[in-house]
Amino acid sequence: MSATKSGAPAPTLSEMFAAQDPEKIQKLSVVMAEATRESQGLMNDILAGSTFSSLGGPSKPDPFGASTAFGKVSRSLMTHPANLMNANMELWQGWVGLFQDMMSGNHLEPSRDRRFSDPEWSQNPTFEFMRRTYELNTRWMMSVIDAADDLSDADRRRARFFAKQTADAFSPTNFFATNPTVMKKMLETGGESVLEGLRQARADLKRGGGKLMISQTDETPFEIGVNVATAPGQVVFRNDLIELIQFAPSRKKVFSTPLLILPPWINKYYILDLREENSMIRWLTSKGYTVFVVSWRSADETTKDYTWDDYIEQGAFAALDATLEASGAEAVNAVGYCIGGSLLTGALAYMAKKKDKRIKSATFFASQSDFKLAGDLLAFTSPEGVALYEGLIEENQGIMPGEAMGETFNWLRPVDLVWRYVVDNYMMGKKPRPFDLLYWNADQTNIPGPLYKTYLRDLYGENALAEGRFKVLGEPVNLKDIKIPALVQAGREDHICPFDSVYRTARALGGDTTFVLAGSGHIAGVVNHPDAKKYQHWINEDLPESAEAWLKDAEELPGSWWPTWHEWLGPKSGKKIEALEPEDKGLGAAPGTYVKARLSDIRKERGLT
């Protein structure tokens, strides 16, 4: 049983219902009547705007081909009925055990699933039965897919992904009448929580232009360049695609070899500079590195037709040239984060072919160049998925809209990034709290259509970069040609670039490669300031065939992986020289102008709103 702030046991749902007097019930009726009107208004808003998500519609009821994947599971089980029989037997045994427990009053340990943290899910027989039924049926559904043992890896992955999406959507926590926490909140507030939740839903619909755009945070306290992205520096180069920012030194002596960082263009660079206390950029300058970071332009009418080669030539290579000019150095150490690392890999393979030695070493943050084990995102590379995204690009006049990309990544972790907010915001009426990381996450960018198609088809779909069938500036490239020292970092819980996929990328390179595994995921695994003393990381000098074998023999170290990276990078960064302040070239101070472009402003400029 949970407790109140005073330490007394919190009342159960049954006790709260019993305590309702006629006056409270009358007030609740009035509020719920108003909530009903708000609910009708919500439906009107949906119908007046976009009835269906842009990722589907009445002509595309199954936009990603889930039915195709499930059909293959069904055919496999029809061919091997014993496999289905075994799975159903386990389900039947589970149901028998459940009824025996419920009849005998035998309560199991509380669920480890955070969705079911309310004591009612373990102590109230009705809710416990709902929870255990849901968990039992979910396990059965996934076991049925596993029982189809002649599926291809791609078909099994796709079927498991959509089955999990279905299970997550139908969790009893997502429905008002089957969520005890929501019902308690309704009674505590006299129904005001329900009314406020409906109002927030309508506000999010309005913000999304008729499409539900869930608010994950209160964005109003944040301003780029004021309380996020505040590391001092200057824009030292600009073209139509990038701004190159040189950050001010914080030490009198610095390494002679500058550090050039290529962040992903799916989000903005300031994930590396959110706040002073967790800024990687500030930490790097404090260690004596001269840091240059690319700030990508969100795709608009100027850049909507840019290709992968354009991003190599006018992005990576233009930034390299400008970094060398601004620093006076002959070579740099380079960093690629996520898709920025994929781009860097292609650039390095091309440079190796051309005997270009202007990059001395490479570090990759949570980045894939071998996509064979690229995880749940592969579910979107089916023929149906590719066709859908190409149609979406066409509908948006040649641009992959940032809103759709954000939605895609949210649905990779729907429990945390979708349903949690449906429950908190719309069912319990909670207002989202300010959170800088979620502000950054919501500050999405557009992607040029040709660039996105290359990424989806050639890299994810065909794994062409890892298999030597990818061309950069007309030249076929091979990752084994990359002989410079490399450090490849992965996050153990990364759902975008999975650990074993990033490990395959490390083994695909041709030089002396160091692999480091960090605790946590795609963001917190990378951006983990040592002062926070959070998580851990693992090191192992060997690169055995599998990620599992690597981890088995790895040494676990406490805290951030940044100091380990610094120990590796420092000796490759040249002698110490006098630090130079970034030159003011009349292009403006950091964080520049491209980083401040919002999707809503670009849509207005393109006449799409």
Residue 444: helix, strand or coil by DSSP?
coil
Residue pair 377/460 in contact (Cβ under 8 Å)? The answer is yes
> H helices within 233-361, ranges in order?
280-286, 308-310, 318-327, 339-353
Provide the CA 244 distance to its chain's centre, in angstroms: 25
Which residue reads 């429990």 in tokens? 415
**Residue 380 corresponds to which tokens in the numbers above?**
């979107």
**Residue 480 corresponds to which tokens in the numbers above?**
């084994």
Strands 576-578 and 253-255: antiparallel
**Beta-strand runs (E) in 332-439:** 332-337, 359-365, 399-400
Residue 298: half-sphere exposure toward Cβ, Cα within 13 Å: 24
Q: Which of 341, 315, 345 is nearest to 244 (CA)?
A: 315
| 497 included as an active-site residue | no
Which entry of 338, 417, 418, 502 is annotated as an active-site residue? 338
Strands 259-262 and 513-518: unpaired
User: What Å distances lie between residue 346 and 234, 337, 351, CA to CA?
Assistant: 28, 13, 9
Residue pair 243/234 in contact (Cβ under 8 Å)? The answer is no
Residue 76 is which amino acid?
S
Number of residues in the chain? 609
CB atoms within 10 A of CB 83: 18
Q: At what angle do helices 81-104 and 125-147 cross, to 10 degrees?
A: 170
Which residue reads 């959507």 in tokens? 169
CB atoms within 10 A of CB 594: 20
Residue pair 329/302 in contact (Cβ under 8 Å)? The answer is no
Residues recognised as catalytic: 338
